Structure formats: C-alpha cells, structure tokens
Structure 1
C-alpha cells in the first residue's frame, strides 16, 4: 500500500520564493533571511505530504533556481569564469543562473533550455577539459537531515549521471564518456554520505533515457550503473523516468541491480505494452506513473484503476505514483475562490493530487468503491461549452487555406521595396519593462479604483513615451511596449472565448519566473478585436513601422492547460482561426508588420524523432501557416522563438513560411546559425545579440563582435538585429543602456560595410 510523488512545487502558494530571491538579488535581505524563507516552504511542503498520507516525504526537489544547476554545483561542475569572481557559494550559483556584472567584471549566464517537453527551463551544465568532477556541496544532505528530524519515511531525489552527461555541454576535447568515471566516483561519494542517514529510498531521475537511444548511449548507461550499483547501501534505489517510455533500454533496466523502476504510463505510449510483453521482475518495485503530473484535470479513477490492474505486478511490488514531478502544476485549487464551482470540481492541482493518490490507494488496495462512484459522478457531469460555428469552420478548412502566396522570395522583394529599411534593420522582440507603475495601474483597474478611461490614458502615455524613445534611440521597426498585457498567453486568452482563468495558479518557468497558464475549457473563438486599437494608436505616433504583436496558436495552446476530450490538432486549429481574425483586422487597419510569436513551438515536440512529424509538426506547422495565409504579399510576417533546441527542426521552422524569424541565440553562442546555413534557411532572421534574462549590460563592442560573427555566416540582406527575447522582466535603466549599445553597434557595422563597399 504505497503512494509516491516524483517532486513537489517550490515557489510557494503565493510565490514566496520568487519574492525572497528577488529581494536577495536586490540586497534587501541577506542569505540567512533567504534560507529561513526557503526552510519554511520546505517544512510546509513536507507537512502537507505527511498529512495527505503519502508513503514517503519527498526531499531533494527544492531549488533556489534549477535542480540541474544544483547538481552541477554539488559536483563542482562550475566553469572557471564564475569561480574567478571570488563570490560566496550562493552568489556564485546565482552568477551562473543570471550572469554577473559589477566593478568592471562581466560574465554571461549559462545557457537556458527547455526541460524536455515542458515549460520549465534548466541551465546547461558546462564541462571543459579542466573540470574536476567531485562531491563539493552539502545542501542535499542538509535538507535530508532537516526532513528526518520531523518525518520518519523520507526519500530524496537526484538527477542521474546519464541525464547529466546527456544534457551537459562539453567545450573542450573531452566528451561525456571521458567524464563518466569521475561522475560515477562522485555519485559513489554521494551514496556513501546518504548511507549515514535513515533514508528509505533514493530516487535517481533519468528522464534522458526516454529519448531515442543509440547503442553507444545504452553502453554508457550500463557502464555507469553497473559500477554505481556495485556497492550495497542501507537505502533502496529507484531509477525514475518520466515524459516518455523506455523501449530502447527496458531490457537493461530490469537486469541492472535497481530496487525499483519508475515508469510513465501516461506519456509513455508504449510503457504498458512493454511491461505486458516482457514482464516485470518480482524482486523490483514498480513505481507506476498513472496520475498526471503535468495537467490540471481531475483523475478518472475508473480509467486509472483499470490501467493499474493491467500491470504484471502484485500488490507487494506496486507503488502508485505521479507521472512526473508536480513542479509543473499549481499548488491548490482551493485558492481559486472566484472560479465557478461547475469548473472547479473538475480541477486538480498539487494538493488535490496528493489526495487523489490516497484515494487511488484506498480503491486499489482496500476496495473503497464509494470513492470510485463519487469520482465517476463528476465525470458523468462534465460539459465543455460547445460552439457549432467554430466546429464547422474547422471542418470546412481546405488545403489551400494553409498556403500563402506568392512564394516567399517574391514577397521579400515587394516588402523590401515597401519598407525601404537600412541594412541590418533594428527592432526589439515586443515588450518593454513592466515597471512598478505599470503593474499598479493594472491592479488599480482590476480592483475598480480607476475606470477604463483612466487605465487606458495611462497606457497611452506609456506607449507615446516608448515610441518616442525608440525613435530617438534610432530603431528602424518599433513596438508599442505591451504595457496593457499581463502575460503573452494570458492576455490573449482573456480576449478569446473558451478560456477560464485563475488567480493564484502559479507555475515555475525558471528561477524566480512564474506563469499562470490559462485553462482551455470550451471551443475557442475571438470575442472582439484584441490589439487593433493599441497597435493603430502606436502607429499614429510615428512614420516608422510599428509591429502588431500577437501570440501564435501553438504557443497559446502549449502554454495553457489543454482539454483532454479533443485532440491537440483540433484545439490548436480553433485558436489559429481566432488569431487569423486578429491578423486580418490589423492588416485592414494599416499595420504592415505583424509578429506572431511562437516561443513554445518546440515545447510539445515528441521526445522521439520518429514521432516528430506524425504526432506534432504535422499539425503545429499548418496551424501557424493558417494564421497568416490570407494576408497581402506586402504585409511582413515575423515570428519569434526562444530558449529551446531548434537546431534539429530548422526545416520545419522554415516551413512556417514567415518572412522574418528572430531566435534566442546569445546564450547558446550563436550555434543555431551554423544550422541555418547548413539547411539553406530562406527566411530572414534575427539571431538575438544579447541575453535579456541576465541583468548585465552588454557593451557596444560585445554586440558589434556578435554581429560580425553572424555576418561571417549569413548574408547581410537576410539579417536583422534584435535582443533575444522580450524585455518585460528587466529594469528600464539596464534595458535602455543595452538597446542604445545595440543600435550603436549596428550603426558601426553599417559604416564598416559601407566603407568596405567603397574600397571594393
């Protein structure tokens, strides 16, 4: 009779950790105060798990910024440039996460990438040839000690060595296999230290084994774990996977000396078939991931119990578990006091999922049919709002509705003539800093302290100011700043039928950044024009083009909690038609450049390449094309993508048929440019020339050097110059200084190009 979670949220129900870390960064609290707040959050999490009846309290899942960064620092995988700053350990840690600039020292942050197919981001560990991998920290053990003082049954979790090596970046001649012996030795030292505690289970997370694995990958994995598991310890070891199935390596997993295996039976499409055909060892425990850790809908107990009954295990070697960490869902449905009860009854956040595990345990092991019947009544009564007009519009679509004409090369000629922009046109990605007064204005309006006219008057003044600033700074294509928007997805969801919204359902995206995803509840359509008035007002203030700024259908879908009763393709197509209405309205009102952001295009890409086109890109790419297929050839369509590995889907991105695409590139050292060139990328492109997620200000010389690197590989008539993402989260002083340096570096490059042309 066992229940398990893979991990728990950590930002706090009211984002206490976010506020505390940001205060620490500003110097408003010291390290002891920050630690006290963190300890309070951990205690609350552990107590909640204990009260729910969870079999093991989960430790090792807390982080001030990112668990993989925690592991890298635990193992001394800290690049020399950060150690040379001579900071205390915590500030060295944050320098890796955010970058550092002070007293003439300036260091960029580590690359930030998507964590598998989620909206969580991890920091890429960096190995160089001089990296000395060894056990160097003790936070993991401190948290375990604290938990054991109050709770008897405790497990701790640790990202595994294979995933560490697969996700790491190797900057020298040594590669993953070269570091494997040292990594294993360091993990052995961790095991020895854990052996000093009364630990029930060690959960080793190896999500990287749900990727397509080569023979070399399998060989490396087996070598690592044959060595690592060669010594016995007082605790048991669970090899935990999630986000997919382990079809490539299951045979090895059941042969290796693990005490337990954690398998995902929701996203792991072949997991049930694998264990059904190959069996499951009687001497191991199956941690069955059957409770969705990524979506917020109530669990269907009947379906889950039926699934559990199909597993080839006995009650003695079965643990009912979440499919992944609950990090990816909000804390507590009970906080949503304004949500309608007929919707609220169908939702399950982290706290409710703890109760669902307890219910499933009672039904499966103890036969509590009353809980099963009560749950079924909820599912019998669910009714998603239907819109027959929307459904018919989707059904009536033809292949030609997804094609824009003429072809891109002809459009490019017409657009260059229309806009007559200089070489290396400068622009930003869209948002400008949401300063305190902007947030207060929004809050006062929502509280009814000011009316809509007063609210809009403030927004208009902000737009007028930022348009003037961009003109004076010398930007070529302007933006209105997005001061009216709370979030790039939530804002559009609020203006579309079919969405519902929460007040406190925050989910960590990275570090102190939290988002509040909308919930797709019914059929989606545009209720009214969304951005037309704001965009046309901004355009009226200047003779330079102002981009209309929209969020694309795939990103809206991927950054929302989706319905589970209709296919992703149908849901995304509904959203695409709604955004198409907005695109055509903007064009009709004279907005000639329209940016449709698809920051999350990569996010739900299947982890196995064999599924990319048959299960995702076959509907994601057409959805984007549907949005802009009906605009005039002279209207220029931009899109933006950030903080994912796009190198391997470059052909699909080019197939979006946009006119200009801006990419995050600064943290990844412009590696994407080589792929663009190799794949004969036709779209004009703006690789980000500086990292906006770091508080440092890049110099003119630094940006000039980056532009030179870009032009060494891409033709000048295909290149735009821009930051790598929106500027919403930054302060104005650093933003303005950075952007002034961007324009200055661009002008310097243009002058050099002109001078070289004269010489030739």
Structure 2
C-alpha cells in the first residue's frame, strides 16, 4: 500500500518576486539576457528544492514561464503570429516578449497579442492566434531543458503540459474562419514527439492539463478527446488533469479515454469518491486534489485523513495533491511579519500546503496511523468561528436589513442622462482616463517611507497633494474633459481599499502573479467587513478644488474586491460581496456630498467570478449585480455612475452588464481591435460606452491616425452621443513620457473627429 503526493504546479515568481525584477531590468536594458536566464534557473532550482524539502514525492517541471504558461505552449509548438517573428529564423525569448508586450528589449515595435483571464481566476494569459491550415512543430524546447535540469539535480519529476484540446479551445481564430478542431491532428503529432522525448528520459508520468473538461462541451469536442488521447496513448504514462470545477457531467466519455491517471479537483468539484471508484477501472491512477490551490486557509487534514483512510479500502494506491496549481497562492507563510500569530495560525501558503500533503501522506502510509500531528495542525482553526476578529454583529444585522429599494436608482437612465448632461456640460466624444497615472519611483518611495514611519503624516499628505496637483495640471494641458486625481496614494486597487475596511488582514510578501511581471498582493478576508473611515473622499475633494472640470471619484467595486482577495470559506461569497457593497455605499454617498459629480466603481472581475458551468451562472450574476447596485444606487439622478471592465468575454454577461444600470461603462477593446463592441450593438446596449482605444499594457505609443481609426470604428457600433474616448485601463504601469505622448495623440484624434462633425 502506497500513497504518494504531488502538486499541480508551483509559483514561478520567486520568494521575493525575483523574476519580476529580472524581467523588468532586462526589458529596460539594465541587465543582459544571460542575467535574466540565470535568475530563472535559480528560481526553478529553489522551487524544486522547496517542494522536495517539504515532503513532495514528485516535483513539477514545466510550470515555470517567462510570461505565462499558454504563451510557453505557443512557443513550444511554434504557433507565433508572423508579425512577431519578422525575419527571425528561430524563436527567441525576445520573440516571446514581443508577443506579450508588443515591444522587445531592442525596441522593435508590433501589436501585442490579446490577453484574457485564465478561466475564473485573476491570472491572465496571452491568447494564442490560429490561422487556417496552421502548422505546428516542436521548436521551443524549454520543457526538455528544464526536465534535464531537474533530472541532473536528482529529482523525481513530472513534466506539466497544457493539453492540446484546452490549447485549441482557448485560442482565437484570426483571418478566414474554420473549425479549430481541423488543426488537432497536426497538433497531436507535436505532442507525441514531446511525450517520446520524456519516454527517452525514463520519466514515469506526464501531467497534461485539460481544464476545459469542467465546461459544457459540444459533442464534437467530446469526441475529439477520444481521438486525441487514443493517438497519444503509449508507454509514457499520462495523468489527465482537471481543475476549477466538477467534471461529473463529462464522465460518460472521460471514463472511456485511454489514459493512465486522472486528477479530480475535490475542492471545486462535488464528488462522491466511492461512486468515482466504481466508474473507473482500478488500473486508472486517481489523483485527488484535496488541498485548495486557490485559497490560503489551513485544510482540515484530520477530516481528509478520515475520508482517505476509508477510500484506501477501495484503492490501495492513489495520489493526493493540490486542487490546482499553487500559482494562485503566495509561497511561504513563514516569511510574513505583518500578520498576527492568531491569523497566521489559520493560514496555509504554498509551502505549507506542501506540508499538509506530506503530513497526510506520512500518516496514511504509517502502519500505526497516529493522528496526533494532524490534530496539532488544525488546533489553531478550531476556535476561529467564535473569534471576535471574525464576527461583527452590527455588520451581520445590517445585511439582514437590506431593502429592494436600496439596489435601485431613483429614475431610469434616459431621465438621468438629461440631468447629467445639463449638470456636466460635456462636449461630444467626452474624454477621460480610467483612473491611475504613472506610479513613479518617487511616489512608490514616498509611500514606502510613510509606511516605515520615516516621514510624518502631515508631510506625506503634503507631498501626495503635490503629485495630485501636478496630475490635474497635466490633464488640463492635454485637454481631457473629465479628470482623475491619479491615485498616487494607492498601491493596488484592491489592497488600498481593503486597508480602510474592517475584516481584512494584509501580508508583506504574499505576492501572486497576475500576468508577466505584474504581481498582486491579495488581502485576506478574515472577518465581517465594514468601513473604518472615509477612504477616497479627502483626495477627491482636494483634486476637485483644483479645477472647474469634473473629477471622477475612483472606487473598486464589491465583486472585484471579493474576487481579488482571499475570501472566507465559512460564509457565502454573496454575503461577503454585500458586506463590501454596504461599506462602499457609505463612501459613494460621502463623495457625492463633497461635490463629486462622477463616481467610477470598477468591476473588472465581474466576468471572472462567473462559474464555469452555465447552469450556475444565473445565481452568481443575480447576487453580483445586486452587490454592485447596492454600492452605487444611493445617489441623486444628476450624479453619473461609471464602471470599468477589462479582459473578459462581455458576450457571456451582456444582460448582467445592462442590469448594473451604470450611466457609462468603459471597457478594454484595443487588443481586440474593437471587435468586442459588436456584442454591445447586438444586445442594443442603451447607455454610454467608453471603449479603450489604446493598449496601456504595451509601451508602444499609438499614432493619431491609429486612434482616429479606432474611434471611427467604434462609431459603427455606438452613436456619437453615447461614445466616450479613453485608454483601455489605468496608466500606473506606464512612464510619464509614454503617457503624455499617448494622451496627446488621443486628444488630437478626438479633436480631428470633432472638427469633421462640425464640417458636415
């Protein structure tokens, strides 16, 4: 009898974000390619050593990526758009960065590929592009190089690949339309070549991720799985891996696949292990994802022990593991200094999740099977339910008193729009930005000095106001119609707000990757949520005092704060979202009272929170929309409510977007060349829209002509009376030079089109 453990992947950023800094130094020319490669190699070595030292039996290889793992796969199979290859005869790491960023360290410019969310997470990937008769070949051999690295160091490894069908499903067709499955046979040849290389290295298992198995798949895609895995079946053992949802609805064809092992996400999926055992042949190795790879709470290892001990009577050999890759959680709880001992006792980061798996494996495999260590592990979480850190009875009471009227504006958009146009007096094609302006090194150092008590609160606020004043002056020079205060006081759009809300805890090194070098530090929701003090009001009031133009109040919405935090698991997400919404409602009212006429409540995570299966969508969208409206509906008709969304499939949620009843929605459309707007036209979206006309995630400066073309394209979908013009997201990651040149070009493009309207 032998139970083994593994994880589906490990964070690739380094314990202290070493990869981020190495990437950015290389992009800026401050370091060489060799410097970057050495940092990557060191991170991989430390990751493998950490997994081994924390009791993981089989370490993962291939989970490291220079930008994201889908882009790694595109490079591996040679699927790179021609515009990013140019005259290169071989693909290089600069090719990879050009696909993702639109520019390389040598400053060659081309349009970046589209980026979107990885299923229902806050992780992003570069969307592969497919053309008719696309050919694939095994050209980028990073997976073999890393496998050889790990083998040379003496580790027992398990390479990780994105499955061929998931890759095709998540890709987009460019140019002439065709059936993506037409490319499957060509792609499978490459995958079989890769598997053959693993077999030559005597690697026992290969993990192939097919998370689309949790979706509602068309029949032809179900049949394609049988074709694909029959073709790939060989001496090389395949562990087919699913996560982020239940696959019970697809078991009828999954059980017939010629695979050697199957991973079940027992956190996101609701399975009966005993039914699963009867469904599958005993020769199929079960991998049971029992440790949550997406949240940071300690697992009840004693409860899992009892479940798995019973299961051992049915299957003597199986693996236990994380539900999904640990990419989505911080690396090590032990390096945290900010958290109290009480809260730390409730938590488990990446390495601690490895400890949980090791502890369970040792106990299950022990003949004596003493549970003393398991009981000691969960001891700190037993008293959590009754903790005053968790429970706020005033908040709980307020939730029960929410009325239907609290989630409705006083009048319809048509009536509100008249009052808002009279009050704001904006020109045709009003211009604005999404909120943030460049976060310079001076601003970041200022916040750090204040955090470390090196400057007084008075001096800090004085210097922040100086930055706000400069941002207002610059916007007026550009000629923007609706201004923002620029958010120099904010570190992150969720962490900043959470710092002013009771019920949150914060880490110092709890970084997780969002995309590329972009990392976020999600706050932890530990208890009931309420507002401690006004959050944005003083800064917005000051900014408005500097100009006669309207200044937007800038807030992060309740669903986004929820989705981009680590939530509690003892109450529903609906309740958490409404607690946050009530706190934001208080902030919205205070902004209105100090004279802010436009308030933007960003909800980029609304689509992200959507369950994977469509029959679960209605309930989620019901409470998500209610939470947003609870935060936004307590204002006068003359107060204009905006929201912002980016990098999501709007067509999936158009009725919900309309139900938000915002006056203006700004959206990301630049990387998709405005194609997303067709869904707003098809749906006959009635309110005002600001499609992002240039991509702020690329350092490329868009030309006046390019932006004119995009505005004119947008006018094919939106009437000029309802069209706003803006970048596609906040400008915090750009330099002032990039920002100035881009906004000047944007304003010139708008002025040219306004003039053309006047001349008609």
Matches within 5 A, 1:442-591: 442-591=447-596
Change (3 A) 1:312 1:671: farther
Kept after mapping to 1: 8 A contact 2:559/2:624: yes
Show the 5 A alignment for 1:350-389: 350-366=350-366, 367-382=369-384, 383=387, 384-389=389-394
Structure 1 equivalent of residue 209 of structure 2: 205
Consecutive unaligned residues in structure 1, runs of 5 or more:
none
Which of 719, 726, 735 aligns to 1:731? It is: 735
Q: Distance in 1 between matches of 2:27 and 2:44?
A: 21
Distance 1:734 1:392 in 2: 49
The residue number in structure 2 matching 1:607 is 612
1:507·1:515 contact (CA, 8 Å) conserved in 2?
Answer: yes
* 1:159–1:50 CA distance, 2 compared to 1 (3 A): same
User: Please, which moves more after superposition, 445-454 or 83-92?
Assistant: 83-92
- Which residue, out of 45, 48, 51, partners 2:47? 45
Partners of 1:102 and 1:566 in 2: CA distance:
47
Matched position secondary structure for 1:497: strand
* Partner of residue 228, structure 2: 224
Contact (CA 8 Å) 2:559, 2:577: kept in 1 or not?
Answer: yes
Q: Find the aligned partners of 2:166 and 2:606 in 1 and give their Cα distance.
A: 23
Q: CA deviation at 1:108?
A: 1.2
Q: Is the 8 A contact 2:27 2:104 kept in 1?
A: no
Q: In 2, are the aligned partners of 1:467 and 1:480 still within 8 Å (CA)?
A: yes
Tell me by how many angstroms 1:753 deviates.
Answer: 1.8
Determine the structure 2 residue equivalent to 1:426: 431
1:275 matched residue in structure 2: 276
Asked if 2 retains the 8 angstrom alpha-carbon contact of 1:280 and 1:313, the reply is: no
The aligned residue for residue 707 of structure 1 is 711
Which of 441, 466, 485 is matched with 2:446 structurally?
441
CA contact (8 A) 2:601 2:641 kept: yes
Q: Report the counterpart of residue 325 of structure 2 in structure 1.
A: 325
Q: 1: distance between equivalents of 2:272 and 2:138?
A: 35
Cα shift at 1:271: 6.3
The RMSD of aligned alpha carbons is 1.6
Shift of residue 448, structure 1, vs aligned partner: 1.5
Residue in structure 1 matching 2:408, options 395, 403, 410: 403
Structure 1 outlier segments of 4+, above 6 Å: 101-104
Q: Tell me how far apart the structure 2 counterparts of residues 636 and 681 of structure 1 sit (CA, whole Å).
A: 17
Give how far 1:272 is off.
Answer: 4.7
- What does residue 240 of structure 1 align with? 241
CA distance in 2, matches of 1:728, 1:552: 19
Greater shift after overlay, 374-383 or 693-702? 374-383
Report what 1:743 is aligned to: 747
Deviation string, structure 1 residues 523-546 (Cα, Å, up to 9, x no partner): 111111111110010000000000
Match of 1:681 in 2: 685
CA distance in structure 2 between the aligned counterparts of 1:310 and 1:250, rounded to whole angstroms: 23
Paired residue for 2:72? Answer: 70
| TM-score, reference length from structure 2 | 0.97
The SS at the match of 2:11 is coil
Structure 2: gaps of 5 or more residues: none
Q: How many residues align?
A: 751
Determine if contact 1:205/1:241 at 8 Å carries over to the other structure.
Answer: yes
On the 8 A contact 1:242/1:324 being kept in 2, the answer is yes
Q: 8 Å contact 2:255–2:279 — kept in the other structure?
A: no
- Secondary structure (helix, strand or coil) at the match of 1:431 reads coil
Aligned with 1:203: secondary structure?
Answer: strand
Q: TM-score, normalised by structure 1?
A: 0.97
Give the direction of change, closer, same or farther, for the CA distance of 1:80–1:274 in structure 2 (3 Å limit). farther
Deviating more after overlay: 425-434 vs 521-530: 521-530
Deviation sequence 1:576-625 (CA, Å, 0-9, x none)? 000000000000000000000111111221011110012x1121100000
> Post-superposition shift, 1:213?
1.1
Check conservation: 1:297, 1:347, Cα contact below 8 A. Answer: yes
Render the CA deviation track for 1:251-277: whole Å, top value 9, x for unaligned: 22222211100111110135658626x
Q: Deviations over 1:614-644 (max 9, x none)?
A: 2x11211000000111100000000001112
What does residue 19 of structure 1 align with?
21
> 2:409·2:634 contact (CA, 8 Å) conserved in 1?
yes
In the alignment, what sits opposite 1:166? Answer: 169
